[in-house]
């Protein structure tokens, strides 16, 4: 009777050993498949991040063909281009907003900053009233225009007017930067004597 019980235990141990061996092999397979899926998921996440970056880059407006000119207003009301700082009554900034099919069409806020040679920003009035948010910072602007953007190339000409006689126009280089949708989209400069 003891031998029968011992044989039963040996048989059960053999069965348990076989089952354990099978479970160890199955566990190894599952871990290998898990690691493969984890690697695939990591690659997909990386590709998704790269595509998201590309979409973010593609959804930025671009300005090109940027030019700026100073204008003198004659007493007759006629406008005349000038390169003299003391005669400048307005600055006209012209550029083309590029075609962009990725960007959502609709109203876009366009800001132009005109910095004098001493880096003071020319504003349309009291400087504190003419600010906008750029990358979490409040910065001044010279010209603001809200435009209807329909994903096609759009030429624009925006003007800053010298409203007050006490605004000093300095000789030197005026740096002009255009912003739209929270991004810097183009720059140009204007030289006045």
Please report, in angstroms and rounded to a whole number, the separation of the first and last CA atoms in the chain. Answer: 118
CA atoms within 13 Å, Cβ hemisphere of 36: 6
pTM, to two decimals: 0.70
3-state secondary structure 98-150: CCCCCCCCEEEEEEEEEECCCCCECCCCCHHHCEEEECCEEEECCEEEEEEEC
Written as tens digits, the pLDDT of the chain (193 aa) is 677 777 888 888 888 888 899 999 999 999 999 999 999 899 888 888 877 776 665 667 889 899 999 999 998 889 999 999 999 999 999 999 999 888 888 999 999 999 999 999 998 876 678 999 998 899 999 999 999 999 899 999 999 998 877 788 999 999 999 999 888 999 999 999 9
């Amino acid at each position: 009777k003891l031998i029968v019980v011992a044989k039963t235990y040996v048989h059960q141990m053999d069965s348990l050993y076989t089952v354990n061996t099978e479970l160890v092999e199955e566990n190894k397979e599952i871990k290998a498949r898990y690691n493969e899926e984890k690697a695939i998921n990591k690659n997909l996440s990386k590709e998704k991040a790269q595509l998201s970056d590309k979409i973010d880059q593609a959804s930025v407006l671009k300005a090109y063909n940027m030019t700026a000119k100073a204008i003198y207003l004659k007493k007759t009301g006629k406008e005349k281009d000038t390169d003299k700082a003391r005669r400048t009554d307005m600055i006209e900034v012209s550029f083309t907003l590029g075609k962009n099919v990725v960007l959502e069409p609709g109203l876009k806020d366009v800001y132009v900053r005109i910095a004098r040679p001493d880096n003071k920003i020319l504003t349309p009035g009291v400087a504190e009233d003419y600010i906008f948010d750029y990358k979490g910072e409040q910065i001044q602007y010279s010209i603001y225009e809200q435009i209807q953007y329909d994903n096609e190339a759009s030429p624009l000409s925006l003007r800053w007017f010298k409203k007050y006689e006490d605004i000093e126009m300095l000789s030197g280089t005026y740096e002009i930067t255009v912003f739209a949708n929270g991004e810097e989209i183009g720059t140009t400069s204007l030289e006045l004597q």
